[in-house]
Chain A
Amino acid sequence: EAAVTQSPRNKVTVTGGNVTLSCRQTNSHNYMYWYRQDTGHGLRLIHYSYGAGNLQIGDVPDGYKATRTTQEDFFLLLELASPSQTSLYFCASSAQISNERLFFGHGTKLSVL
C-alpha cells in the first residue's frame, strides 16, 4: 500500500502568517498533488507536480506556492495566510497522471485566525 504522509496534522496561524505544509510519499510515484477540501466545494486542486523541480498549476492556485524538492517530497507554502485559506488540505500521489488511482495522505487541518 502506497504511503503518503502529511505534516503537521493540525496547524493554527494568524492572518499574514507564513505556513508550510509537508508531504512525503514512499512509493516512488511520479505525480504528487495538493488539494483543499471545503464543505460545498468538494476537492479542489491547488498545484501538482510530475517530478522534482516541476510544478503545474491547478484550479485554485491563488495565494499558494508549491515546491517539489525530490521525488518523495512536495511542499505547499502559504506566505501570507488569509482566513479564506482555512481548510482541510490533502496531499496525494499517483504513478501516472491518468488511469491510475490516487493515494491520499491523512490531511492537514489549517486554521487561519
Chain B
Amino acid sequence: GEKVEQHESTLSVREGDSAVINCTYTDTASSYFPWYKQEAGKSLHFVIDIRSNVDRKQSQRLIVLLDKKAKRFSLHITATQPEDSAIYFCAASRSNNRIFFGDGTQLVVKP
C-alpha cells in the first residue's frame, strides 16, 4: 500500500520566518493530498489540500506544492506566528482508497 513519509519530525523557526514541511509518497496513483494540524492537547483539523491536477495551491499564508514526478509535496507557512505551533500531518490517497498519513512534524515557532 501507500507509504507517506514526513522528513522532518521537528522543525523550529523564528516568528515571521517561513516554515517548510516536506512529504514524499510511494503510490504514483495517489491524487489527493491533504494536510492536518493538531494543536497541543487538541484534535486534528483540516487546513489545506491539493489535488493532482494542479501543482500549487494557496490559502492565505499556507502554500502547498506538489511535484508528481518526484512524488513529493510540501507545506509552506509564510510569516509564521506563534499560533502556527502545532503538529502537522501530511496525507495521501488514491481514488476509491483510504487515506494514508505521515507521522507528523512538530513545528515550533519561537518569538
Q: Which of A22-30, A36-44, A64-72, A76-84 contacts B (4 or more CB under 8 A)?
A: A36-44
Residues of B within 8 A of A45 (CB): 98
Residues of A within 8 A of B60 (CB): none
B106 shortest CB reach to chain A, Å: 10
Check: A34 CB closer than 8 A to any chain B CB: no
Check: B58 CB closer than 8 A to any chain A CB: no
The distance in angstroms between the C-alpha atoms of A101 and B32, with both chains bound, is 10
Residues of A within 8 A of B101 (CB): 42-43
Which of B34, B45, B51, B99 is packed against the most chain A CB atoms within 10 Å? Answer: B99
Check: B24 CB closer than 8 A to any chain A CB: no
Residues of B within 8 A of A92 (CB): 44
Q: List the B residue with the shortest CB-CB distance to A91.
A: B43
Which of A40, A43, A98, A107 is in CB contact (< 8 Å) with B89?
A43
Contact A107 B43 (CB under 8 A): yes
Q: Please report A residues at the B interface, Cβ cutoff 8 Å.
A: 40-43, 45, 48, 56, 90, 92, 97-99, 101-107
- Ranked nearest first, the 10 interchain pairs of A and B with the lowest CB-CB distance are A42-B103, A101-B46, A98-B93, A99-B32, A104-B43, A104-B44, A43-B101, A42-B104, A106-B43, A107-B43
